[in-house]
Structure 1
Amino acid sequence: MKKSRTQKSITNTAVSFASQLIIILLGFISRRVLIYSVGVQYLGINGLMSNILTIFSLAESGIGVAIGYSLYKPLAENDVETIKSLMRFYRTVYRLLALMTAVVGVLFYPFLPVFLKDNTAPDANIIYFLFLASSVCSYLWSYKITLNSSDQNKYLYTIANTITQILVLIVKVFILYYTQNYIIYLCIELGSTLVKNIIFSCILDRRYPFLKEKNVRKLSDIEKHQLSRNIKSLFWGKFGYIASQCSDNLVISSIISVTMVGLYSNYTTLVSAVSGFVTTFTSGVTASMGNLIASESKEKAYAVYKRIDFINYWLYTFSAVCLLCLTEPFIKIWLGTDYILPKGILIVSVVLFYLKGLNSGVDVAKNAAGLYYPDRFVPLIEAMLNLVISIILAYRIGLLGVLVGTLVSFLLLSFWTKPYFVFRDVFSVRFSEYVIWEGKKILLSFVIGAVLYVLQLKIQLSNIYFDLLLKALFTGVMSNVLLCVVFFRADEFEYIKTMVQTIIHRVKHD
């Protein structure tokens, strides 16, 4: 029986959530073993290399999302010929991108020492090329994974990816623990990426047999124009976004030290882990939202968006409060007190996580509607502003200055421009309506966060494990109770309560 949009969203979200939980738990173990086996400097090199290779992926910026959006309508209408044409175009472009990334990576190699301040690792060059090889290989099968996600079957890839990552993480941790050899660790990761992509490619060939058909029509001029416009708009947007995200580590490594990148990466790993859980919700509903916008009225799409945005707000408020209250006691258990950074680093990191998280609710509607053109240059301007402010403040107040630069540049631009264009062009709703509603919610979140943070400081148990557990119970329960008290009369809350009751009823009777 064919699944509805809601059923597919629930399936995608549930599977992604379970996958994130397993991978994150194993990831924390892997990171602890990495630090104690080869040292925090290698952790910094790992983060730096990841950022450099992410910047190289700028060539891909916009293509995957644009193709994904272009697939929503033909998938909804079962237009196989258009799907075939888009996928053939996608495959050709990605093969060219793999070649371009390899060439750019080799040309960049002589400049690598500039970003490795205070580095004493003798094998940094080998590490760089292993990261480059992994990045190049990932391009060769990405187009099929995009089709699977756009067809609201992301859970299939998630299951396969989770099983592979579990096995590989176990092997990597075992090898690292007994050999203390980071090169072997990376070689295993590269090999597993190749095997995983090849296997999943074969699975998708069987699921979508038309991908192997030779008779594929060329895209029409109108299709090419629309696709080209979306890709160009997304390129500048993604360029700015990636540059903004990755410039922080580059500034830290070149002005402060590679070791500081490693220390701060423990915080970003924790934030990313929590973000990964929440993102399973937004990624699980984006394709369904795209299908809805393509086939329903603006009024219905807006009503659904408000529910999605409300759930997103609730999840990010709960997550931000937990991060604020529990990060330090968690790191004390996970790595030790030597890895705890100044309080200001934590506060700014959590505020950034929270505000960017709220914007991700807007991103669901933006990407689902294919609204890439109006604000295409905003992320680029933001990235330039972020780089300038971060460099100036890094020399004055160190790591905190880099984070403040990122926060200020985000608040000045992306934080308000994204919702402005979405409300104007997708829903035809006044932007002031969003500002008032969102402003009240943000103020409430800050009050809840501040109150619970002060109260949880009074919980001081001698056993660090029970201390963390009690603080987690207090923070988790009280943040949700306070949100329920404030919003129990809201229409969106009533809808979500009914939906949860329906899901529980179905689970019990299936």
Structure 2
Amino acid sequence: MRTKNSIKNTAYGIAGQLIGTILSFISRTLFINILGASYLGINGLFTNILSMLSLAELGVGSAIIYTMYKPLAEKDQTKIKALMRFYATAYKMIGCIVALLGLILLPFLDYLIKDKPNIPNLTVIYLMFLTNSVVTYFFAYKRSIITADQKNYLNTINQVRFMFIQNIIQITLLILTKNYILYLSVQIICSFISNVSISKKVDKIYPFLNIGKKEYLDKDNKKEIFKNIRAMMSHKIGGVVVNGTDNLLISTYVGVYFVGLYSNYIMIISIINSFIYQAFTAVTASIGNLNALEGKEKSYKIFNDVFFINFWLYGFCSISLWILLNPFIGMWIGNKYIMDNYIVLMIVINFFITGMRQTVIAYNSTLGLFWNDRFKPWFEAIINLIASIILLNRLGIVGVFLGTFISTITTSFWVEPYILYKHAFKKGLNIYMKKYALYTLVTIIAAILTQLACSVITTYTFISIVGRGLICFIIPNLIFAMFFYRTSEFIYLKKILVSLTSKFVVRIR
């Protein structure tokens, strides 16, 4: 059942992401051609500022979702009702706090934008971003029960439906009016209706949430949740500082124009991450169910299988990004939007290192181990901020990404798996490191051979990019298969692919 739910969630997620990707590229292309890089930079900057304000969430969601796995598995409706009531109250308070923090930040916007562009109504634009963010908090708890209950495909269907409507209307408005305010208004309205729609869906699936007496958490449960929230607070702060400050630093020290250039790369990487995230969101809920009901050895076996799939996905995607990012940007919106190769290389390396952590993060979250490494994010955030500022002044934009690399390698890279292996698997970290080193070495070998094969293609036309893409698809996957075809992890992956293929063929017939 866990595998079936994971596959269903992943399939819906990928299908939804394909639709979203096509619409995003059409919308972004028109956005750049009609409004220009400055608007793109403001869009990226305000998005980052709002992600920084999400610090107010302090990990409440992750802590409560973790607490929800067991009662959902055991169908304990009383406990689920109590958790959802607590969660709803917490998120309404968080939404109000985010709104207040956003308003307090308003007078300081001028200090965050170097070479302020000639864009009218910047204050109104910022307030619209803030409104869109705040609205989401009042419905977040409804989406979370679906995720924890291995039904994330319902979230995906909801999001894709309203994303489609939103993009179609935004594209039409851009062409007809070229008005950014109207463009953002559509985003706010669609976000609100989407959240109301999923809220009604949850009420229909879990009618017991609104029937009978109100349930409250006892002191012991609250104590456990607040302990987890304190731990997740550290992770939240660290994550926001590491991932949310790049655009702020570039905007403050270099200029908002370069934020616009970088945002195109981030959009492409975010799309790829979203595809992979669909799989990991589905798998994480199943892992939570597995860890709530099964033993340590079974959990460790599944970890190795999922980590192998994790490597294959991020290894292949990292190689493809390195080979295709600049040629694609050049063909898509022009060579003036291309960033230097050494900047792209650092972006891709950070993508790979962050991606390779996903299995460990999923296990640590579902096992509630975030308390054990609660101080790690503080060190990571401090190292990242100091290193990024120093290297930005010395090396330029690439210094920001080098700072992120340094902070990750010195903290999360080894601390997260150390906690998992020590407390969950009762094994030494060296086992994980040997496997990680092998996966990284194979990825590097595949990257070098792919680069050599693609070096004969020198143009940036559509045909040449298709040719590069075919090489990227064949060589890395062939090398990965040659290295690992005898391992139990490869056999597990092959079984999943055969199962998916056979089901797909049966449905077509």
State the TM-score, normalizing by the size of structure 1: 0.97
State the match for 1:117 in structure 2: 114
The worse-fitting range, judged by mean Cα deviation, of 482-491 and 496-505 is: 496-505
SS of the residue corresponding to residue 425 of structure 2 reads: coil
State the match for 2:447 in structure 1: 449
Q: Matches of residues 299-314 of structure 1 in structure 2 within 5 Å?
A: 299-314=297-312
- Contact 1:102–1:132 (CA<8 Å) still a contact in 2? yes
State the match for 1:97 in structure 2: 94
Equivalent residue in structure 1 for 2:164, among 163, 166, 183: 166
How far 1:217 moved relative to its partner? Answer: 2.6
* Alpha-carbon distance between aligned partners in 2 of 1:26 and 1:245, rounded to the nearest angstrom: 25
State the match for 1:78 in structure 2: 75
The worse-fitting range, judged by mean Cα deviation, of 5-14 and 277-286 is: 277-286
State the match for 2:489 in structure 1: 492
* Alpha-carbon distance between aligned partners in 2 of 1:509 and 1:389, rounded to the nearest angstrom: 54
* Alpha-carbon distance between aligned partners in 1 of 2:162 and 2:297, rounded to the nearest angstrom: 42
- Does residue 473 of structure 1 match 2:487? no
SS of the residue corresponding to residue 372 of structure 1 reads: helix
Q: Matches of residues 2-401 of structure 1 in structure 2 within 5 Å?
A: 4-120=1-117, 121-213=119-211, 215-401=213-399
* Alpha-carbon distance between aligned partners in 2 of 1:506 and 1:261, rounded to the nearest angstrom: 44
- Contact 1:115–1:250 (CA<8 Å) still a contact in 2? yes
* Alpha-carbon distance between aligned partners in 2 of 1:138 and 1:503, rounded to the nearest angstrom: 34
Aligned residues: 506
Measured against aligned partners, the alpha-carbon deviations of 1:378-400 in whole angstroms (never above 9, x if no partner) come to: 11221111111111111122111
SS of the residue corresponding to residue 193 of structure 1 reads: helix
How far 1:214 moved relative to its partner? Answer: 5.2
RMSD: 1.2
* Alpha-carbon distance between aligned partners in 2 of 1:177 and 1:333, rounded to the nearest angstrom: 22
- Contact 1:241–1:380 (CA<8 Å) still a contact in 2? no
The gaps in structure 1 that reach 5 residues or longer are: none
How far 1:179 moved relative to its partner? Answer: 1.2
- Contact 2:48–2:244 (CA<8 Å) still a contact in 1? yes
- Does residue 422 of structure 1 match 2:420? yes
State the match for 1:505 in structure 2: 502
SS of the residue corresponding to residue 426 of structure 2 reads: coil
* Alpha-carbon distance between aligned partners in 1 of 2:20 and 2:503, rounded to the nearest angstrom: 28
Q: Specify the code of the residue in structure 1 equivalent to 2:301.
A: A
Q: Specify the code of the residue in structure 1 equivalent to 2:45.
A: L
Measured against aligned partners, the alpha-carbon deviations of 1:21-53 in whole angstroms (never above 9, x if no partner) come to: 111121111111111111101111111101111
* Alpha-carbon distance between aligned partners in 2 of 1:505 and 1:267, rounded to the nearest angstrom: 36
> In 2 relative to 1, CA 397–187 (structure 1 residues): closer, same or farther, beyond 3 Å?
same
Measured against aligned partners, the alpha-carbon deviations of 1:143-184 in whole angstroms (never above 9, x if no partner) come to: 010001100000011111101101110110110122111111
Q: Specify the code of the residue in structure 2 equivalent to 1:103.
A: L
- Contact 1:325–1:453 (CA<8 Å) still a contact in 2? yes
- Contact 1:81–1:216 (CA<8 Å) still a contact in 2? no
- Contact 2:443–2:476 (CA<8 Å) still a contact in 1? no
How far 1:207 moved relative to its partner? Answer: 1.0
SS of the residue corresponding to residue 494 of structure 1 reads: helix
Q: Specify the code of the residue in structure 1 equivalent to 2:130.
A: L
Measured against aligned partners, the alpha-carbon deviations of 1:52-86 in whole angstroms (never above 9, x if no partner) come to: 11111111131111111111000000000000000
Measured against aligned partners, the alpha-carbon deviations of 1:428-469 in whole angstroms (never above 9, x if no partner) come to: 2221100111111111111211221132121235x7010000
* Alpha-carbon distance between aligned partners in 2 of 1:169 and 1:95, rounded to the nearest angstrom: 28
SS of the residue corresponding to residue 341 of structure 1 reads: coil
The worse-fitting range, judged by mean Cα deviation, of 450-459 and 234-243 is: 450-459
Q: Specify the code of the residue in structure 1 equivalent to 2:125.
A: I
Measured against aligned partners, the alpha-carbon deviations of 1:297-346 in whole angstroms (never above 9, x if no partner) come to: 00001101111110010010110010010111111111111111111011
How far 1:106 moved relative to its partner? Answer: 0.8
- Does residue 464 of structure 1 match 2:465? no
How far 1:216 moved relative to its partner? Answer: 2.2
* Alpha-carbon distance between aligned partners in 1 of 2:434 and 2:10, rounded to the nearest angstrom: 30
* Alpha-carbon distance between aligned partners in 2 of 1:269 and 1:196, rounded to the nearest angstrom: 22
- Contact 1:230–1:372 (CA<8 Å) still a contact in 2? yes
State the match for 2:404 in structure 1: 406
* Alpha-carbon distance between aligned partners in 1 of 2:218 and 2:427, rounded to the nearest angstrom: 34
Q: Specify the code of the residue in structure 1 equivalent to 2:71.
A: P
Q: Specify the code of the residue in structure 2 equivalent to 1:199.
A: S
> In 2 relative to 1, CA 61–453 (structure 1 residues): closer, same or farther, beyond 3 Å?
farther
* Alpha-carbon distance between aligned partners in 2 of 1:502 and 1:157, rounded to the nearest angstrom: 24
How far 1:500 moved relative to its partner? Answer: 2.1
Q: Percent identity?
A: 36
Structure 1 runs of 4+ aligned residues shifted over 3 Å read 506-510
Measured against aligned partners, the alpha-carbon deviations of 1:266-288 in whole angstroms (never above 9, x if no partner) come to: 11111111111112111110000
* Alpha-carbon distance between aligned partners in 1 of 2:43 and 2:264, rounded to the nearest angstrom: 12
SS of the residue corresponding to residue 305 of structure 1 reads: helix
Q: Specify the code of the residue in structure 2 equivalent to 1:430.
A: G
Q: Specify the code of the residue in structure 2 equivalent to 1:208.
A: Y
SS of the residue corresponding to residue 225 of structure 1 reads: helix
SS of the residue corresponding to residue 130 of structure 1 reads: helix
- Contact 1:41–1:119 (CA<8 Å) still a contact in 2? no
State the TM-score, normalizing by the size of structure 2: 0.98
- Contact 2:128–2:188 (CA<8 Å) still a contact in 1? yes
How far 1:117 moved relative to its partner? Answer: 1.0
* Alpha-carbon distance between aligned partners in 2 of 1:355 and 1:435, rounded to the nearest angstrom: 13
How far 1:188 moved relative to its partner? Answer: 0.6
